Amino acid sequence: MAEIDIVEGASDADIARWIHAQLEGALKANDQPIAISVPGGSTPFPIFELLVQMPLDWNRVTVWPGDDRQVQEDHPASNTGKIRALFEPVGANVVKLTVMEQVPHFALVWLGMGGDGHIASLFPNTDPQADEERRIIRLTPDPLPPEAPFDRVTLTIPALLDSDGLMFVIRGEDKREVFDAGARGEHDLPVARLLGAAGQQVTCFT
């Protein structure tokens, strides 16, 4: 079971500074490039906008979407297109998620969580497993979220766990209850399966 550090009432600026410190530390630890995975959705992008303004050797950072909708990058629903628009101008490399990509070890994985306990695009109906052999899969959520009714491509639980640290930003009491219950092992939703198999530090901003 993961050790979880809950940071209450964190602002977007607080979170951006924390991520920057994690990346800076990872870059200083060796002279190799590092990889991070980030979510889509509405919550991360104001934080990304603050993060990319901070000085960092962005040329050594590769950014992986944790998941994406099966749409063209110029589609409004594309996570990759929006992530690329923010991170590539500062020098970072942004990966398009396909099942052919070789997934690296991540310095940091940032995950969102839905009210149904899904993480990345690992929805409850997809029955994600901590011992899944594949690192990237295509799938169809059921039911399809009405705000984004598209097939998905996503990192799997083992790919997400191949990381030095995990972080969440959980906003809203309902989601917090789902997250906390998952951390206690009180349900079997995807977030609980991830947390139950995690051995690294998990930081949750609320």
% pLDDT > 70, the chain: 100
Range of the domain at 104: 3-205
Q: Residue 42: is its pLDDT beyond 90?
A: no
Helices (H), 52-126: 79-87
Question: Which contacts of 145-150 are long-range, i.e. CB under 8 A and separated by 24 or more positions?
Answer: 148/69, 148/77, 150/69, 150/70, 150/71, 150/77
Q: How far apart are CA 166 and CA 23, in angstroms?
A: 13
**Is residue 155 pLDDT above 90, yes or no?**
yes
Total structural domains in the chain? Answer: 1
**Res. 144 pLDDT band, cuts 50 70 90:** confident
pLDDT in tens, 63-96: 999 999 999 999 999 999 999 999 999 999 999 9
Q: Give the pTM.
A: 0.95
Mean pLDDT across the stretch 123-149? 91
Q: What is the DSSP letter of 89?
A: G
Segments in 30-146 forming alpha helices (H): 44-51, 79-87
Spatial separation of the C-alpha atoms in residues 55 and 20, rounded to whole Å: 9
Per-residue model confidence as pLDDT tens digits over 178-195: 999 999 999 999 999 999
**Tokens describing residue 31:** 């002279």
Tell me how far CA of residue 186 lies from CA of 13, 121, 126, in angstroms. 32, 21, 19
Using one digit for the tens of pLDDT, what is the confidence trace for 12-37?
999 999 999 999 999 999 899 999 99
Q: How many CB atoms lie within 10 A of CB 193?
A: 21
26 neighbors 107 (Cβ within 8 angstroms): yes
Q: What percent of the chain has pLDDT over 90?
A: 91
- Please list the residues that pair with 62 across neighbouring strands: 35, 93
pLDDT band at 142; cut points 50, 70, 90: confident
pLDDT digits (tens, 9 = 90+) for 158-167: 999 999 999 9
Q: What is the CATH number of the domain that holds 200?
A: 3.40.50.1360
Q: Across all residues in the chain, what is the average pLDDT?
A: 95
Q: Is 16 exposed, middle or buried (0-12, 13-18, 19+ CB in 10 A)?
A: buried
